Amino acid sequence: MADKIETPAFVMDENTLQSDLALLRNVADQASCKLLYSPKACSLSTVLRSVARKVDGFACSSPFELRLVDQLCGGSHSLHLVSPLIKRETLAAFGERLNYLTVNSLSQWERLRGAVSSETKVGLRVNPQRSFVRDPRYDPCQQNSKLGLSISRLADRFETAPASLRGITGLHFHNNCDSTDFTSFLETARHIRDVIPKVLRQIEWINLGGGYLFNLVADFAEFYAAVAIFRETFGLEVFIEPGAAAVQRCGTIEATVHDIFDGDDVQIAILDTTVNHMSEVFEFQFEPDVLGHVDNGPYSYILAGCTCLAGDTFGQYSFDRALTIGAKITFLNMGAYTMSKAHRFNGVSLPTIYTRRLDGSVDEIRTDSFDDFARHAGVTDIAAA
Ligand SMILES: Cc1ncc(COP(=O)(O)O)c(C=O)c1O
């Protein structure tokens, strides 16, 4: 298979995707909640089509995501939109096809109230004011968060201005990122139960967001207990909308070593990929998993990306054998927030996209071209470019 793949490449493994989706489906069924997928994690067509076979709907963040999901996955899935920006024209374009809309603030709701189809169920994003993410850039509950109405204000509005909540039939929260246990999930659910019990008695549904890597969790008891608070105590329909849990493991980035030279105290290996293709490596400064890397192996290299950015590096990795020019490097667990955040800084092309089918065969899905780069740069007459 390796020979068939032109690097840099993104390879989606259908087998892994299906097993991680099956796990999510099973846990959602055990909890009797509805399973949505957040396409922001990965919106490649092959991923969406596979995901569609296992989920009840899609939790989109923009009109483009909505349109893509609608076109690729047909009309049988429920479509949800949650975003700090919702334009009237989006609501007009989707009309009753938008099944659930989550508004981000009560002022947004006030302005959109008249523009929402009577078939669309409207929820309010609530900030539960329970922070579990250390990096504030990824913490929806940071001080002065732009994401949702704080739960304390919601409690207050419910008592002092209930008319402002008219038409709201659901709540939505999302307050974690890549978590591998559900302690914080249960803590958040209990907090919501304790602070706004009267609101929960008035509504019909609640969306508990994403942020948990279900496939790395050993015990789901706290997840089931949290869902039961809303389902059993308050009789609500419950949704979850994971992204990374569905797709993180199924994607690899494949690269080739193009140069090796001496650094101050370790060799540098230049690859034909870059942090452009894995932007969270740069944002979080974490070292991605590399196939064949061994702790304290005899041959060490800084694996470096191919752009002019000094910080375009992946970290120091050791191997049992020396790398040579032309060696292949596989970055593991790259399915989430890679292709959806990839860009062409320095004019480096996006990875070629492949799917490894269940029978092991590999299909090329898309190759990035100079024309794509030129179009992005505003060139309209590609032939003359
Ligand atoms: C509102 C909302 N829902 C769901 C998700 C998906 O989160 P994850 O991919 O961590 O499961 C996100 C991610 O940012 C989000 O902002």
210 Cα to the center of ligand 1, angstroms:
4
Radius of gyration of the chain (CA): 23
294 Cα to the center of ligand 1, angstroms:
32
Closest C-alpha residue for ligand 1 atom 10: 211
Report yes or no: 140 and 104 within 8 Å, Cβ to Cβ.
no
Report yes or no: 342 and 307 within 8 Å, Cβ to Cβ.
no
Q: What's the CA angle centered on 65, arms 59 and 70, to 5 degrees?
A: 85
209 Cα to the center of ligand 1, angstroms:
6
pLDDT of residue 382: 73
Atom of ligand 1 lying closest to residue 177 CA? 10
DSSP state of 10: E
Report yes or no: 245 and 25 within 8 Å, Cβ to Cβ.
no
Ligand 1 neighbour 177 (Cβ under 6 A)? yes
Beta strands 9-13 and 352-356 are parallel
Ligand 1 neighbour 243 (Cβ under 6 A)? yes
Closest C-alpha residue for ligand 1 atom 12: 210
The C-alpha atoms of residue 168 and residue 15 are separated, in whole angstroms, by 40
pLDDT of residue 3: 56
What architecture (CATH level 2) is domain 2-10+251-334+342-376? Beta Barrel (2.40)
Q: Among positive and negative, which fits the CA dihedral 176, 147, 190, 230? A: negative
33 Cα to the center of ligand 1, angstroms:
17
Ligand 1 neighbour 171 (Cβ under 6 A)? no
Ligand 1 neighbour 57 (Cβ under 6 A)? no
Ligand 1 neighbour 244 (Cβ under 6 A)? yes
| Alpha-carbon separation of residue 234 from 18, 165, 199, 381 (angstroms) | 33, 18, 10, 59
Ligand 1 neighbour 39 (Cβ under 6 A)? no
How is 121-172 classified by DSSP, letter by letter?
EEEEEEE------SSGGG-TTSTT-SSSEEHHHHHHHHHH-GGGGTTEEEEE
pLDDT of residue 74: 76
What CATH number does domain 32-247 carry, 1.10.10.10, 3.20.20.10, 3.40.980.10, 3.30.1510.10?
3.20.20.10
The C-alpha atoms of residue 271 and residue 306 are separated, in whole angstroms, by 6
Kindly compute the dihedral angle of the four CA atoms of residues 152, 153, 155, 156, in this order, to the nearest 10 degrees: 120
Ligand 1 neighbour 123 (Cβ under 6 A)? no
- Non-local (6+) Cβ contacts of 242 within 8 A are 24, 35, 37, 38, 210, 211, 212, 214
Ligand 1 neighbour 209 (Cβ under 6 A)? yes
Coil, strand or helix at 265: coil
Closest C-alpha residue for ligand 1 atom 5: 210
Ligand 1 neighbour 241 (Cβ under 6 A)? yes
380 Cα to the center of ligand 1, angstroms:
35
Report yes or no: 6 and 236 within 8 Å, Cβ to Cβ.
no
The C-alpha atoms of residue 133 and residue 260 are separated, in whole angstroms, by 38
Ligand 1 neighbour 208 (Cβ under 6 A)? no
Ligand 1 neighbour 213 (Cβ under 6 A)? no
Residues with pLDDT less than 50, the chain: 1-2, 385
Ligand 1 neighbour 120 (Cβ under 6 A)? no
Report yes or no: 330 and 291 within 8 Å, Cβ to Cβ.
yes
pLDDT of residue 383: 66
Half-sphere exposure (Cβ direction) of 164: Cα atoms closer than 13 Å: 16
The C-alpha atoms of residue 227 and residue 215 are separated, in whole angstroms, by 18
26 Cα to the center of ligand 1, angstroms:
20
Ligand 1 neighbour 65 (Cβ under 6 A)? no
- Take residue 58 and report the two structure tokens written for it: 């899609």
What ranges do the domains of the chain cover?
A: 2-10+251-334+342-376, 32-247
The C-alpha atoms of residue 139 and residue 64 are separated, in whole angstroms, by 25
Ligand 1 neighbour 41 (Cβ under 6 A)? yes
Q: Which of 24, 27, 40 gets mutated to test ligand 1 (max ligand atoms within 8 A of its CB)?
A: 40
